[in-house]
Amino acid sequence: MSRLDSFIRRMTAQRDILDQVCAEVAKMDGPVIELGLGNGRTFHHLRERLPGRRIVAFDRALAAHASSIPEPENLVLGEIRETATRFIGIDAALVHADIGTGYEDRDAVTSTWLPDLTARLLRVGGIAVSGTPLDHPRLQRLPPPPSVPADRYFVCRRV
Ligand code: SAM
């Protein structure tokens, strides 16, 4: 499969999963945590799907399109492993983590700290969506939508 095909599949999977979980998150109190603002495309999508919901976005540096920049109080810059720790206990309804690199060794390092951080950011019943695995005793794996290939994206509920 070409990298273009793979990219299209990843974007389609991301959109389908976010649409599926937003229907549930809409009925739940709690902010949304966007780990990896990047260009801001998924932030923009979440803002459309969950109007009025607080979305706190994190990245090393601001590189988002002008249409997709959070309010200053909801933009947190720096290393997520450090900055997001300050938000533990925020009882998020949704944590969306899009910080995979496509490099196995780098993503393996992320997997050593992201699952525990995610579990601590979520409220009980809250949902996590991630491009890298979220193996953690408090994160119960949920099936992704049928259009999403297995092990491309990970959806979990905080138990
Ligand atoms: N979901 C975004 C979108 O739709 O535009 C794209 C996110 S992009 C794939 C990943 C972003 O995560 C990059 O902007 C990168 O700087 C950021 N990132 C990755 N690991 C990070 C870390 N450990 N701390 C802070 N930012 C990180």
The SS3 of residue 63 is: coil
CATH 3.40.50.150 applies to domain 3-158: yes
Is 128's C-beta closer than 6 angstroms to any atom of ligand 1?
no
- Residue 53: left if φ>0, alpha if ψ -120 to 50, beta else—which one? beta
Distance CA 28, CA 48 (A): 16
* Segment 14-32, tens digit of pLDDT: 999 999 999 999 999 999 9
Give residue limits of the domains in the chain: 3-158
Closest residue CA from atom 26 of ligand 1: 59
Is 42's C-beta closer than 6 angstroms to any atom of ligand 1?
yes
pLDDT along the chain (159 residues), means of 10: 89 93 97 98 98 98 98 98 98 98 95 98 98 96 85 92
Is 38's C-beta closer than 6 angstroms to any atom of ligand 1?
yes
